[in-house]
Structure formats: C-alpha cells, structure tokens
Amino acid sequence: MNIRTVRGLGGLITGLILLVVFSVLLTRAMDTTSYNTWGALIWAPLIIGVNLWLISIAMRNEPDRWVVRLVYIGYAAKLVGIAARYFTIFVLYDGVGDASRYNLYAARWYFEWRRGVFEVSGDGKFGTHNTELITTAVYTVVGPSPIVGFLVFGTLAFWGCVLLFKAFQAAVPEGNFRRYAILVLLLPSLLFWPSSIGKEAFLLFGVGLTGLGAAKFFNRRIVAGLGYLTAGLVATSLIRPHLTVLLLSSLFVALLLRRGSGTPTSFLGKTVGLALVAAASVLAITQAADVLGIEDLTAEEVTGEIDWASGQTDTGGSAFVPVPLSSPLGLPAAIITLLFRPFPWEASSGLVALQSLEGIALLLLAIVGWRRLAQVPRLLRRNAWVVFAAVYVLAFILAFAGFANFGIVARQRSLMIPFFLALLALPDPRRPHNALTDSEERQLANA
C-alpha cells in the first residue's frame, strides 16, 4: 500500500468520524436546544464553506498571495466580529436592539412566505420595514435563527469591504493595496458594527457595489460599471434613500471634474453620464423626501428635517453636544468627530472606550500619512474615483454632523470610513509608484 493510498484512507476515516460526531451533536442539540442553535449547526458550515469558495473565485487573479491570505484572515476576523455582535445584543443587552425587532418580524411571517402568502404589512418607517422584509426573505430560506441571520448579514458586510478593495485596486493602480486591505478588512469597527441583522450590514454591501461600479465606469467598462452602480444604488435606496443621494451627488461631482480626452466621443460620453446621474439623483431626492416626510424641497424644509433627526440622537450615556455647522469651528469639529471621536476621555462605556482607541489610531495614521492626504487636491483632476471618494466622505460628514451620540456615530461611520481609508492608502509621493520595500519583495517572492 503506497503513501497516497494510506493518506486517502486516513482522510476517509477522519471524514467519517467527523460526520458521526456532527450527527451526534446535531441530534443532541435538536433535543435540548431551539432551532436558533441547531439550525445554526446546519447552516453555518454551509454558509462559511460557500463563502470560502467565493473568496477563492474572487481572488483567483490576484498576483499578490499575501493579499489573498489576508482576505481569508479578514473573513475569519469577520466571523469573530459577528459572534461578538451577537453576544453583545442578545447576551449583554438581553436582546435590546434593532436586530431583535427584525428577528421577531421575520420569525412571525417567514412561514407564510414559504406558503406563498407574502405578507408585507408593518408599522415601521420605510427603511426599517424594508429591513424587516429582507430579514423575512432570509428566514424563508434558512429558518428563524438569529445566529444564522447575523451570519448572513455580517457576510454581506464583509463582501461590501471586499468589493471596495477591488474598487480601489481598479481605480488607484498605484495605491498601496496591502495597506488598504489591512485597513478595510481588519478595522475593528468594520468587523463589529455592520455584523448583525440590520441596516448597516446591508447598506455596506450596497456601498461596496456602488464603489466598484464607479471604479469600473471611470475605467470605461461602461456596461459592467452601470450594472454594479444600479445594484448598489437600488440596495441603498431600499434602506436609506438619503444615503443614495450622497452617493449620486459624489458621482455627479466626480463626472463633472473628470478630465476628458478632448474628442467628441469623450464629450458625448461625459454629457450622457452627467445626464443619467442627474436623472437618478432627482429620483433619489424625491424618494428621500417622501421617506423623510418633506413636502417642500426648500433649503429651510430640508435643514429643519435634518435638525429634527439630529435632535433625536442626543440621549443616552454616549450623548455629546456637537458644534453647529453655523459656527466657524463647525466644519473642522464635524470632520474630527465623524472620523476620530470619541476620544478616550469621552468614553462612557467599555464599548465606547474601544471605539476611542480606534479613533486615536486612525488619527495617528492620518498624521503620519499626511503626504498621502495632501495629494488629494492634485488627484482631483486626474482620478475621478478619488474625487468620488473624497466628496462622499465630505458629504457624509456634513449630513451627519448634527448627530449627538457616539454610539450612533460609530455605527453610521462604518458606511463612510472605507472611503477615508482609501485616501489613507493613496501612493506615498516619496516612493515610486507600486514600489515595494525589500522585505515586501522577499515576502512576495516566497508567497
């Protein structure tokens, strides 16, 4: 008997043993626990296995094996983040949170959907109710298991980050891919906050689709770009149409500032692109106005609605007093708050304290990498995707400047921070484009 046969026989025996152990555990779990637990024993390995397979497909053309390994590590870290989020909501907070609402709604209606009775009634707001329906659709397939629901939504958020990494690669070929991969796949707030049944996880997936669509569109892959853009903008409009408005506004500015080749074809393409984005923006603004209950699209009406929404966030132990934008210090204070706060001395809980450490780390990274950020003005006429990212970051900060709760700010920030991280991974002007250090070259050679 040769070594290959022995190894094959050993693998078969090991597989059979694992199958028997799994069957025993599953049978015992079905007798002693709810479907939330034993359903997860069935679905979690399947979902994880499918995603590992999808990662291998998505990264098959990636030449840097270090990055490929990091994506797998990022998914493993995301699974830890999903578990931590579930533990926080259902153990530490005893089920107090939006995820519980979505779970209860879906657990009530999923069986009717399986019977073909698609109940869509609800008393929640537009985005909340659509999140309830999305959760019901998930439960129709996997059953009423919050554990599995968290895994599905958290995995969507992970793919949003992967899509943004692919967008950065396509849009900024001279950028520091390794730096951006580390930041966008392993940043603690991105691992934790968009990892539950809820709006942020689904929205981050939509933002990722939009970011990749913009990169492809600006690289003249028009059909693929429009496909990703449409999917991403539709996804965000289902939950937060005003976020869709921010994305479309950023696309419009990027198209407007984009340098053409000077040919009639280039001018026509830019004109058509601006017209399409403008039309989509009008639709998104109209939808957002309907959702927010704004009858008159005047500056006073919109400002009043934003002020009202911001005022609903100034409660709880993590509340703070924001500096109004009408003050000369308003914009700098909003930028610091939305990107880096809370600071350690502002932490009112352990979770906020951990968030403050990340904020300090990002602030130090921004200070050390100031040369990368200083390139943004120079790139505004050269790279439309950088314009899109920079304008979106600024627009997001202005839109959420009035929010007065660090917990809410941290959760919302996860939908913007990947684009700021992209600015932190722009090429270092002191090094040649795509140049690797000696250690990086050795690592790549040995990969």
**Max mean pLDDT range (23-27, 151-155, 243-247, 301-305):** 151-155
d(CA 421, CA 75): 19
pLDDT of residue 103: 96
Strand partners, 405: 319
At residue 319, the 3 state secondary structure works out as: strand
Residue whose C-alpha is closest to residue 274's, from 289, 260, 290:
260
> Taking residues 395-421, what's their average pLDDT?
89
At residue 46, the 3 state secondary structure works out as: helix
pLDDT of residue 311: 47
Burial class (CB in 10 A: 0-12, 13-18, 19+), 32: exposed
122 occurs within a structural domain: no
pLDDT range class, residue 120, cuts 50, 70, 90: confident
Residue whose C-alpha is closest to residue 384's, from 218, 204, 213:
218
Residue 88 contacts residue 76 (beta carbons within 8 Å): no
Phi, psi dihedral angles at 405 (to 5 degrees): -140, 125
The whole-chain average pLDDT of the chain stands at: 83
d(CA 364, CA 385): 25
Least confident window among 26-40, 236-250, 424-438: 424-438
pLDDT of residue 439: 44
> Taking residues 392-408, what's their average pLDDT?
87
pLDDT of residue 213: 96
d(CA 268, CA 170): 24
pLDDT of residue 200: 96
pLDDT of residue 82: 97
Please report, for residues 3, 19, 20, 78, 407, the alpha-carbon distance to residue 6 in angstroms, rounded to integers and kept in the order given: 5, 20, 21, 37, 56
pLDDT range class, residue 435, cuts 50, 70, 90: very low
d(CA 50, CA 145): 19
> Taking residues 74-89, what's their average pLDDT?
96
38 occurs within a structural domain: no
440 occurs within a structural domain: no
Residue whose C-alpha is closest to residue 310's, from 360, 251, 242:
242
Q: Residue 172: how many CA atoms within 13 Å on its side-chain side? A: 31
Has residue 294 got a pLDDT over 50? Answer: no
138 occurs within a structural domain: no
Residue 423 contacts residue 393 (beta carbons within 8 Å): yes
pLDDT of residue 266: 56
Has residue 92 got a pLDDT over 70? Answer: yes
Please report, for residues 53, 411, 426, the alpha-carbon distance to residue 366 in angstroms, rounded to integers and kept in the order given: 35, 21, 12
pLDDT of residue 97: 86
One-character DSSP codes across 421-435: HHHHTSPPTTS-TT-
pLDDT of residue 295: 45
Residues 243-268 pLDDT 10s? 999 999 999 889 888 776 555 555 55
The proportion of the chain whose per-residue pLDDT surpasses 70, expressed as a percent, equals: 75
395 versus 280: which is more confidently predicted?
395
Has residue 414 got a pLDDT over 90? Answer: yes
Residue 45 contacts residue 147 (beta carbons within 8 Å): no
446 occurs within a structural domain: no
Has residue 101 got a pLDDT over 60? Answer: yes
225 occurs within a structural domain: yes
pLDDT of residue 375: 86
d(CA 270, CA 259): 9
418 occurs within a structural domain: yes
Residues 31-62 pLDDT 10s? 667 899 889 999 999 999 999 999 999 999 99
Whether pTM exceeds 0.85? yes
Residues 60-78 pLDDT 10s? 999 999 999 999 999 999 9
> Taking residues 186-197, what's their average pLDDT?
96
380 versus 358: which is more confidently predicted?
358
Has residue 401 got a pLDDT over 70? Answer: yes
pLDDT of residue 7: 62
Strands (DSSP E) contained in 160-288 are none
Report how many domains make up the chain. Answer: 1
**Max mean pLDDT range (257-271, 278-292, 412-426):** 412-426
Polymer length in residues for the chain:
447
d(CA 196, CA 45): 18
Residues 149-164 pLDDT 10s? 999 999 999 999 999 9
Q: Residue 163: how many CA atoms within 13 Å on its side-chain side? A: 25
154 occurs within a structural domain: yes
Instruction: Give the structural domain span for 288.
Output: 62-96+145-428
Has residue 297 got a pLDDT over 90? Answer: no
> Taking residues 191-196, what's their average pLDDT?
96
> Taking residues 364-372, what's their average pLDDT?
91
pLDDT range class, residue 331, cuts 50, 70, 90: confident
